C-alpha cells in the first residue's frame, strides 16, 4: 500500500478544501489582466471616469478575494502537513517498536533515524508545497492559456509549441531525478551512521589514538554525500532556467506577432493582458519545474518510509492468539516450562540456536543457566521473557503461554535485567522509578540495598538526584548493572530473569547480591545466566547448555556425577577436577 492510499482518509478532506481555495485564487489571478485590458482599451479611451472607477473597483475586489483564498489554503496547508508528519512519525515509531526482535536485530538504526526525521520532513514539505503553491501552478497555467487564447487565438499557437517541450523536459527530470535523490538519502544514512559510531566509540578511539583516522573516514563520507548532492542538484537546477528561456522566447514571439500585424489592429490593453498571461504562465511553469525537484525527493523519501511501514518479516507473535487457555494466578512466584522448544533466528534457514529443550522451573526456585559462549543462554532467557517466540514447541510461564494475549497479563510480572544495563538521561531516581513510578524513598533504599547499590548512591552528594548521562556514561559498569537490578526489584517481579547481570561486579559483591535475592520477603522465581560456576552457589538447580542443546539439568551435586560438560566447565574455571563421587 502506498503512502497516498494509506493516508488519503486522513488528509483527503483538508487537501480537497485546499485545492478548492487554490482554484478560486488562480481564477482571481487570471481575471485581473482581462479587467486591466478593458480599462486600457475601453474605459480610458472613452474618457468615462465612472467606467474606469468601476473597473478599478472590480480589480480591488477580485484582489481581496484572491488574498482571502490564499490565506485559507496557507492555513490548511500548514495544518494538514504538520498533522501528516506527526502521524507518519508516530506510525513509524509504532511499527519499529512492534517489530519482532529477530527482525529488529538486523535493522540499521541510523537508516531508521533518517527515515523518521529527514524522509518524513521531505514528505511534509512536499505536501505543504502542494497545498500552498504546487497545485496553483497547473491551475494558473491552464487558465492563463485559455484566457490568452480567448483574447487572441494566434497566441494559442505560440503556447501550443512551448507546452509540449516543457512537458518533455519535466518528464525526463522526474525519471532521472528519482534515482539521484535515492542515493542522496542513502548517503545521509551513511553520514548519520558514521557520526553515531564516532560518538559511541569516542573513548576507544582516543585510547587507540585513532582520531586522525576517524576524521579522515568521516570526511570521506561527508565528501561523498556532498558530491552526490551536487550531482543531483546540478541536474535539477538546469530545469528552471531552461523552462524560463522557453517562456521568454514565447514572449518574444508574441511581440513579433504584434509587430507584423496590419496597422490599426494593435490594442495596447490586450497586449498588456497577454504579457501578464505569459508572465503567469512563466511563473506556473517555473513552479512546475520546482515541483519536479520536490517530487522526486519526496517520492524517494516516501518509498523509504513505506519500506518500514510495509515491513516484511514474521509478525510479532506476542500479539497473536494465546496457545494455552489456563488463567495465571494473580500473584506469587511464577514457574516456567519449556516443552520441546527449538529456535532459529531465521526459521527454516540458519542452524538452530536452541534445539529440543524440555525442562521446568518450579515457582520460587533459583535456577542458573550455564554454558559456553554461543550456547544459546541469552536466547533462552528471551524466550522465557516473551521477547522471542519459539520456532517449535511451547513456552509457558505460570501455566500461560507468554506469547499470546493472556501473556500480556504475565509480562508485567516479569523483570529482565540484561548484561548491558540501559540507563536513561536523567537522575538516579528517575531511572529507578521506571521499575515502579509509585515507589517511596524506603522502597528505593530497600531495592538498592538488595542490589548492593545503596552504598555508592549514598556516596554521591546529590544522592537520588545525581545526574545520570546517556546510557549511564557517568557511572561505572558495575554501578550501572546494580542500578538496573534495583530498578527491576522495584517492580516486585514474580519472575526475575538475570542475563549475566552481575558480570561487571566483583565476586564478593556478586555473592552478596545473590544471597539478598534468595532472602527477599516475597521471593520471586530467579532464572539467571552466569559465566562463573561460583555464582550458582545459592542456585537450587543448574541448566547446562551445549551448542543449543540441554546437556544437563539438576543440582550442582548431581551434575558433577552426570554431566561431563559441567565437569569440564568446573575444571576450566578452578583448575581442579570435579569429583563425580
Is 416 in a helix, a strand, or coil?
strand
- Planar angle of CA 350, 315, 95, nearest 5 degrees: 115
Dihedral pair phi/psi, residue 415, rounded to 5°: -125, 130
Q: State which residues form the domain around 60.
A: 3-177+238-309
Instruction: Note whether residue 468 is domain-resident.
Output: yes
Residues 279 and 145 in one domain: yes
Nearest CA-CA partner of 337 in 358, 322, 351? 358
Instruction: Note whether residue 330 is domain-resident.
Output: no
Q: Provide the whole-model pTM.
A: 0.60
Residues 533 and 394 in one domain: yes
CA 238 to chain centre: 34
Instruction: Note whether residue 242 is domain-resident.
Output: yes
Nearest CA-CA partner of 135 in 238, 29, 25, 42? 25
Q: Which helix (H) or strand (E) covers residue 94, if one does?
A: helix 49-98
CA 456 to chain centre: 37
Under DSSP, the state recorded for 372 is -
Residues 414 and 531 in one domain: yes
Residues 341 and 298 in one domain: no
> In the Cβ-directed half-sphere of 74, how many Cα atoms lie within 13 Å?
7
Is 531 in a helix, a strand, or coil?
coil
Residues 254 and 136 in one domain: yes
Q: pLDDT per position in the chain (581 positions), as tens?
A: 466 677 777 777 877 888 788 778 878 877 777 777 766 666 566 666 777 677 778 778 888 888 888 888 888 888 888 888 888 888 888 877 766 555 545 556 667 777 777 778 878 887 777 777 667 777 777 777 777 777 767 666 776 677 777 777 777 776 776 677 777 777 777 777 777 666 666 665 666 566 777 778 878 888 888 888 887 777 767 766 777 777 777 767 766 766 666 555 556 667 777 777 777 776 776 676 666 667 767 777 777 777 777 765 444 444 333 333 333 344 677 888 888 888 887 766 667 788 888 888 888 888 888 888 888 888 888 888 887 778 888 888 888 877 766 667 777 888 888 878 778 778 888 888 888 888 888 888 888 888 888 888 888 888 888 888 767 777 888 888 888 888 888 888 888 888 888 777 788 888 888 888 878 877 888 888 887 787 787 788 888 888 888 888 888 888 888 888 888 888 887 766 555 44
Q: Which helix (H) or strand (E) covers residue 158, if one does?
A: helix 154-200
Q: Which residues lie below 8 Å from residue 423, measured CB to CB, with a gap of 6+?
A: 431, 468, 471, 472, 475, 480, 483, 484
The pLDDT of residue 432 is: 87
Instruction: Note whether residue 115 is domain-resident.
Output: yes
We report the CATH number of the domain holding residue 82 as: 1.20.1560.10
- Domains held by the chain: number: 2
Residues 390 and 276 in one domain: no
Nearest CA-CA partner of 27 in 65, 54, 60, 55? 65
- The 10 Å Cβ neighbour count of residue 218 is 15
Residues 242 and 377 in one domain: no
Instruction: Note whether residue 183 is domain-resident.
Output: no
Instruction: Note whether residue 325 is domain-resident.
Output: no
Q: 506-513 — which CB contacts under 8 Å span 24+ positions?
A: 506/478, 507/532, 507/534, 509/452, 509/478, 509/482, 510/535, 511/535, 511/537, 512/452, 513/450, 513/451, 513/452, 513/482, 513/485
Span 289-343, pLDDT tens digits: 666 667 767 777 777 777 777 765 444 444 333 333 333 344 677 888 888 888 8
Residues 427 and 555 in one domain: yes
Beta bridge partners of 359: 338
Query: Positive or negative CA dihedral for 490, 491, 496, 501?
Result: negative
- Helices (H), ranges, 466-532: 477-490, 507-518
Residues 384 and 434 in one domain: yes
What distance in Å separates the CA atoms of residue 488 and residue 414, rounded to the nearest whole number?
9
Strand order in the sheet with 541-546: 414-417, 495-499, 525-529, 366-371, 541-546, 549-554
Residues 56 and 122 in one domain: yes
The pLDDT of residue 289 is: 64
Amino acid at each position: 500500500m502506498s503512502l497516498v492510499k494509506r493516508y488519503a482518509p486522513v488528509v483527503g478532506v483538508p487537501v480537497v478544501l485546499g485545492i478548492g481555495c487554490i482554484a478560486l485564487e488562480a481564477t482571481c489571478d487570471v481575471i485581473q489582466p482581462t479587467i486591466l485590458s478593458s480599462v486600457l482599451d475601453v474605459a480610458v479611451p472613452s474618457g468615462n471616469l465612472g467606467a474606469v472607477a468601476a473597473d478599478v473597483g472590480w480589480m480591488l475586489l477580485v484582489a481581496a478575494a484572491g488574498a482571502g483564498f490564499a490565506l485559507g489554503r496557507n492555513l490548511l496547508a500548514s495544518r494538514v502537513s504538520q498533522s501528516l508528519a506527526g502521524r507518519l512519525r508516530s506510525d513509524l515509531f509504532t511499527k519499529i517498536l512492534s517489530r519482532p526482535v529477530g527482525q529488529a536485530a538486523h535493522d540499521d538504526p541510523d537508516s531508521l533515524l533518517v527515515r523518521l526525521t529527514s524522509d518524513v520532513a521531505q514528505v511534509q514539505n512536499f505536501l505543504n508545497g502542494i497545498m500552498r503553491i504546487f497545485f496553483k501552478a497547473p491551475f494558473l497555467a491552464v487558465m492563463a492559456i485559455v484566457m490568452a487564447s480567448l483574447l487572441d487565438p494566434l497566441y494559442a499557437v505560440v503556447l501550443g509549441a512551448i507546452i509540449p517541450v516543457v512537458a518533455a523536459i519535466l518528464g525526463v527530470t522526474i525519471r532521472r531525478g528519482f534515482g539521484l535523490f535515492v542515493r542522496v538519502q542513502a548517503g545521509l544514512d551513511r553520514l548519520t551512521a558514521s557520526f553515531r559510531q564516532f560518538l559511541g566509540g569516542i573513548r576507544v578511539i582516543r585510547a587507540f589514538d585513532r582520531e586522525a583516522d576517524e576524521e579522515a573516514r568521516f570526511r570521506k563520507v561527508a565528501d561523498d554525500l556532498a558530491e552526490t548532492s551536487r550531482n543531483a542538484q546540478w541536474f535539477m537546477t538546469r530545469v528552471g532556467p531552461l523552462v524560463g528561456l522557453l517562456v521568454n522566447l514565447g514572449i518574444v514571439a508574441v511581440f513579433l506577432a504584434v509587430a507584423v500585424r496590419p496597422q490599426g489592429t494593435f490594442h495596447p490593453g490586450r497586449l498588456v493582458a497577454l504579457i501578464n498571461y505569459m508572465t503567469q504562465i512563466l511563473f506556473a511553469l517555473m513552479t512546475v519545474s520546482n515541483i519536479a525537484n520536490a517530487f522526486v525527493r519526496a517520492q524517494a523519501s516516501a518509498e523509504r518510509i513505506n519500506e518500514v511501514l510495509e515491513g516484511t518479516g514474521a509478525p510479532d507473535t506476542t500479539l497473536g492468539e494465546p496457545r494455552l487457555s489456563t488463567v495465571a494466578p494473580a500473584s506469587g512466584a511464577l514457574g516456567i516450562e519449556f516443552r520441546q522448544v527449538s529456535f532459529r533466528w531465521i526459521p527454516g534457514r540458519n542452524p538452530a540456536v536452541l534445539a529440543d529443550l524440555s525442562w521446568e522451573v518450579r515457582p520460587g526456585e533459583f535456577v542458573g543457566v550455564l554454558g559456553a559462549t554461543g550456547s544459546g543462554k541469552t536466547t533462552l532467557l528471551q524466550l522465557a521473557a516473551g521477547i522471542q517466540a519459539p520456532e517449535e514447541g511451547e513456552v509457558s510461564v505460570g501455566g500461560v503461554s507468554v506469547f499470546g494475549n493472556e501473556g500480556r497479563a504475565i509480562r508485567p510480572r516479569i523483570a529482565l535485567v540484561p548484561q548491558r544495563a540501559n540507563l536513561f538521561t536523567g537522575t538516579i531516581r528517575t531511572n529507578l522509578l521506571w521499575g515502579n513510578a509509585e515507589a517511596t524513598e524506603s522502597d528505593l533504599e530497600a531495592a538498592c540495598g538488595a542490589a548492593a547499590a545503596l552504598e555508592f548512591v549514598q556516596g554521591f552528594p546529590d544522592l537520588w538526584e545525581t545526574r545520570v548521562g546517556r546510557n549511564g556514561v557517568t557511572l561505572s559498569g558495575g554501578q550501572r548493572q546494580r542500578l538496573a537490578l534495583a530498578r527491576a526489584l522495584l517492580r516486585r517481579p514474580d519472575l526475575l530473569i538475570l542475563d549475566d547481570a552481575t558480570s561487571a561486579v566483583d565476586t564478593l559483591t556478586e555473592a552478596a547480591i545473590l544471597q539478598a535475592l534468595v532472602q527477599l520477603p516475597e521471593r520471586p522465581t530467579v532464572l539467571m545466566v552466569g559465566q562463573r560456576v561460583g555464582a550458582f552457589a545459592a542456585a537450587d538447580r543448574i541448566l547446562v547448555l551445549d551448542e543449543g542443546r540441554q546437556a544437563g539439568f539438576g543440582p550442582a551435586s548431581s551434575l558433577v556425577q552426570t554431566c561431563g560438560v559441567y565437569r569440564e566447565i568446573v575444571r576450566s574455571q578452578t583448575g581442579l577436577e570435579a569429583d563425580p563421587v
